Amino acid sequence: MFKHKLIALSAFLPLALGLAAAGSAPARTEPAAAGFEPGPELTAAASLAYNILSSSGYVYRPRPLDDAFSADIHRSYLEALDGQKLFFTRADIARFEPYRTRHDDAIRNQQLEPAYDIFATYVQRVDQRIAHARALLKQPFDFSGDETWHYDREDADWAADTAELDALWAKYVKNDALRLRLAGRDDDKIRATLDKRYADIAERAHELRADDVFEIYMNAYAGSIDPHTSYMSPRTAENFNMQMRLSLEGIGAVLQRQDDYVVVRTIVPGGPAANGGELKVGDRVVAVGQGATGPMVDVVGWRIDDVVELIRGKKGTTVRLDVLPAETGVDARPTQIAIVRDKVKLEQQAAQKRVIEVGDRRIGVIELPTFYADFEAMRRRDPEARSATRDVALLLKEMRAEGVDGVVVDLRDNGGGSLHEAIELTGLFIDTGPVVQVRKTGGRVEVASDLDAGVAWDGPLAVLVNRSSASASEIFAAAIQDYGRGLIIGEPTFGKGTVQRLVNLDQFVRRDDIRLGQIKLTEAQFFRVEGGTTQHAGVTPDLQFPVTLDASEFGESTYDNALPATRIARARHDSLGNLAALAPQLRANHEARVAEDLEFQWWAEDVATYRAERERKALSLNEDVRRAERDRREAQRQQRQAERKAAGLDADTLAQADDGLNEAERSVVEQARREEAAKTRPDPLLREAAAILADALDLLESDHQLTAQVLPLTRQPRVWAE
């Protein structure tokens, strides 16, 4: 054995409800277009951000804040507001032109008028466009022409004037209406659905406040240094830290905004809300009170992050919720529920295990969504401190006891996390040695190593990756590949080869009543132990699956200001295997197997279709053409259902036909149902990765000459004691 979418309009707007505001908010805010100015906390944050991001002591590749940098900030800010060029006209862009070389002075002097002036115009344009879109709904729909909607406008020119925008929006609205018609809705329902959809877009724009605009603007500044430098407002920073430690203090309910209500999306198992049993999925929160006697605050129409801030709180404190149960109307009498807050563990976002049977082989799978760690608990030397490595080690111990033959670490869609965790996790599979090389400002290279003797798993190993596997995922996969410790399977990874750190701005003011947020900045580049880099190139699998997105479409290579790829000297390390010798036979077995695998073939067909449609970047607005496309897809779906039934497989796991709705337009109960259905769908890629690892086991056990070629005669590491 060897060791070891169609683009929805909401996507055009910076309306992510995680955007933060300091303190609680009133139910309604003043219209953004009326104008507002940043307060002293925001100007202080701007000053600190400038000092940090201009310092070579902090930033790996600092840039002087000059007119050239200002022009990049200007472009990035406009892209953040109107990346698809559906609101501003060339006249607006011309009016903003004097600001192009003034952003450096604005940030340096904490005089941020350019950001707020541009934003005020943006909100006015949103109002105008939405009013036009809603007016178009009053006209008859005509889908008989040969018009085309080019939905990807990122590289398009700004509209010459309002008339050109009108024409663009006519196609935009027509496409939305056609989607709903193809889904079986009549004209009256189409108009009602779209009228509300567009009204909601304008309302969300007006809900943005000074601190929201500041965060967007500061990210235009930070992101112009490199793609992975950013500013996080206090709320964004807290949410980030919560995701890293996989815990929070609150009631244990996931909330979302729907219409004017904040609705319970899911209940976290084991949390206070779940244990109490009174709060249900679909319940609408209409008021929140603190403690046993605090006044109930009406939160109908509030932003979701403001409601979340009221509901979260310290462990042991009580929050009271007035809720309208999911089954009642809006005029029903609310039910009051008192919940004692507690520490809530986000287990669904932690490492999980499962076992896949491949013939007489049992292949264990560890699914790792992110490289998380509770840094604060680690600083306290808390023996129960949560981390990806700790959780994976426990899962490996369980799987050893269960007698699995091999392990697949599934890092698909794992965008990274803690560098420390990437190193520690690698140490679960190698004895001791370098894991990654880190080059900091000035060119100094440090070798980060696993120093703990022994391993948690010394058996066969594979790592499954895709294009969304990035950063820490690439460090782990590259180390496993460079050591020859395991097989890398999937598609080339994202290509991020830089290291970031967080700088808490609050440390510079040392006042409990002031929160300024955090800066995430690039402080180093990392390199493989072999001396190469994952920057741009990513990690190329030993056995590749069809590519969903290539480097020109998604990944580090798509960023104009990404650091260049370079190479450094190899770090001295042992080779634990020469897995290249296995590749030809594994590839032949793989190709023969997937040729008979319905699910894998369907996935490959869908990838090819997706890539072709993505390349086209346009949709016909002719009903006959679109209906023929929909009928073809539906016929394909029904054919697949029939084939699944004939093969004795569950036919209800296939994706449903497009209903024309955006996610938030479906009921929360329906959203939850769809999410659960998605979890039960077959995963042919994971199953095939397990089969490839089982093949490797069979080959090594049956061919001793091949085994001698693949595995050098090195000292086997000890497995950690039980």
252/568 Cα distance (integer angstroms): 47
The structure tokens listed for 705 are 């000459």
SS3 297: strand
Residue of 57, 423, 39 lying closest to 209 (CA atoms): 39
Evaluate the CA torsion angle 418, 420, 426, 428 in order and state its sign: negative
SS3 600: helix
Q: What phi and psi, each to the nearest 5 degrees, are found at residue 440?
A: -100, 180
Residue of 208, 176, 326, 181 lying closest to 261 (CA atoms): 326
Q: How would you class 599 by CB atoms within 10 Å of its CB: exposed for 0-12, middle for 13-18, buried for 19 or more?
A: buried
Evaluate the CA torsion angle 203, 285, 319, 250 in order and state its sign: negative
Which CA distances in Å does 45 have to 72, 211, 399? 21, 11, 48
Q: Among the options 70, 418, 471, 473, which is catalytic?
A: 471
7/84 Cα distance (integer angstroms): 10
Q: Is 496 a catalytic residue?
A: yes
719/428 Cα distance (integer angstroms): 9
Sheet of strand 352-358, all strands in order from the earlier edge strand to the far edge? 352-358, 361-367, 406-410, 461-465, 487-490, 543-544
Strand partners, 322: 287, 336
Rg of the chain's alpha carbons, rounded to an integer? 27
SS3 498: strand
242/254 Cα distance (integer angstroms): 13
Evaluate the CA torsion angle 620, 621, 622, 624 in order and state its sign: positive
102/114 Cα distance (integer angstroms): 8
Pairing of strands 247-250, 253-258: unpaired
415/556 Cα distance (integer angstroms): 12
Q: Among the options 305, 374, 391, 482, which is catalytic?
A: 482
- C-alpha triplet 447, 450, 454: angle, nearest 5°: 155
**Helices 187-207 + 162-182 axis angle, to 10:** 130
Tokens 């020859």 found at:
484
SS3 303: coil
Sequence-ordered alpha helix ranges (H) in 569-666: 583-594, 598-616, 623-646
Cβ burial 514-526 (10 Å sphere, 16+ → b, else e): bbbbbbbbbbbbb
Residue 204 near residue 197, CB atoms below 8 Å: no
Residue 408 near residue 364, CB atoms below 8 Å: yes
Cβ partners under 8 Å of residue 390, min gap 6: none
Pairing of strands 318-324, 335-340: antiparallel
SS3 666: coil
675/681 Cα distance (integer angstroms): 10
Q: Which amino acid is at 61?
A: R
Q: Among the options 85, 174, 353, 496, which is catalytic?
A: 496
320/143 Cα distance (integer angstroms): 51
Residue 418 near residue 373, CB atoms below 8 Å: yes
Pairing of strands 406-410, 461-465: parallel
Calculated CA dihedral for residues 155, 156, 158, 163, nearest 10 degrees:
-160
Tokens 């077995």 found at:
589
Name the residues annotated as catalytic.
471, 482, 496
